[in-house]
Amino acid sequence: MNTPDASLEEYHQRMAHYFKTIEDLSRYFSEARQQEISTNRVSLALFERLYEREDLVAVFDLSRLCLMYDDCVRILADFDFTQFDIELELMETDRPLGILPDTYASIKNGGKVWRVHLNDVDPWPSKPHAHLVGSNRKLNLSNGDMYAGQRLVGKIPRKELVDIRAKFEQSKAFRGIMPTLTI
């Protein structure tokens, strides 16, 4: 019988399994790489590797999967955890108080996942700009130009750019910070 208590118990069991797996992976990769690999980094890495295949929208969506430790070790065996290293610099800002330096939002648009970091230390090609998750592409949020490194590699249509911007602005933390639309 599927009672609310049974569903709640299943939820608690699933969450306990998820957190234990992530903690075990953190310990494993920290020892294997001889550097601290936090549970946050493990979660982000798994999200990067699984978001498309598992249709994930946010890191927390990983908790609905039945992650098996050995499968996760294999999936992350060659993952470069240093991509999550950022150098934080304290500065005066007109952003709302309480916004953490690593605050970001990810949205899905047209089968692609885009991510904007609220306090991205790199203001180019626009401030803010979007990263195409799983690639080295950056999107200028004012004109739709797409870059690989410093090289212009394409442009997205105006409608797609407007859709991406609107999805990011649905998050309170990202309202009013989009650059002026120039196309």
Confidence class of residue 145 from pLDDT cuts 50, 70 and 90? very high
Note whether 121 and 64 are same-domain residues.
no
Q: Is residue 96 included in any domain, yes or no?
A: no
Tens digit of pLDDT for each residue in 10-23? 878 888 898 899 99
Note whether 108 and 55 are same-domain residues.
no
Structural domain tally of the chain?
Answer: 2
Domain final position from 35, 50, 81: 81
Decide if 69 contacts 22 (C-beta within 8 A).
no
Q: Which domain holds residue 165?
A: 104-174
- Three-class DSSP category at 116: strand
Q: Is residue 98 included in any domain, yes or no?
A: no
Q: Is residue 116 included in any domain, yes or no?
A: yes
Note whether 8 and 70 are same-domain residues.
yes
Interatomic CA distance for residues 130 and 105, integer angstroms: 10
Note whether 120 and 157 are same-domain residues.
yes
Q: Is residue 49 included in any domain, yes or no?
A: yes
Domain final position from 48, 81, 114: 81
Give strand ranges (E) for 16-134: 104-109, 112-117, 129-132
Decide if 119 contacts 99 (C-beta within 8 A).
yes
Note whether 39 and 70 are same-domain residues.
yes
Higher pLDDT, 93 or 149: 149
**Percent of the chain at pLDDT exceeding 90:** 27
Q: Is residue 180 included in any domain, yes or no?
A: no
Note whether 9 and 64 are same-domain residues.
yes
Note whether 120 and 154 are same-domain residues.
yes
Note whether 108 and 76 are same-domain residues.
no
Confidence class of residue 30 from pLDDT cuts 50, 70 and 90? very high
Q: Is residue 88 included in any domain, yes or no?
A: no
Query: Is pLDDT at 173 greater than 70 in this prediction?
Result: no
> What token pair was written down for 106?
């990810």
Note whether 55 and 115 are same-domain residues.
no
Tens digit of pLDDT for each residue in 49-102? 887 788 777 777 788 888 899 999 999 999 888 766 543 233 333 444 344 444
Other Cβ atoms closer than 10 A to 62 = 21
Q: Is residue 141 included in any domain, yes or no?
A: yes
Note whether 13 and 70 are same-domain residues.
yes
Q: Is residue 97 included in any domain, yes or no?
A: no
List of residues 6+ apart from 177 with CB closer than 8 A? 95, 118, 128
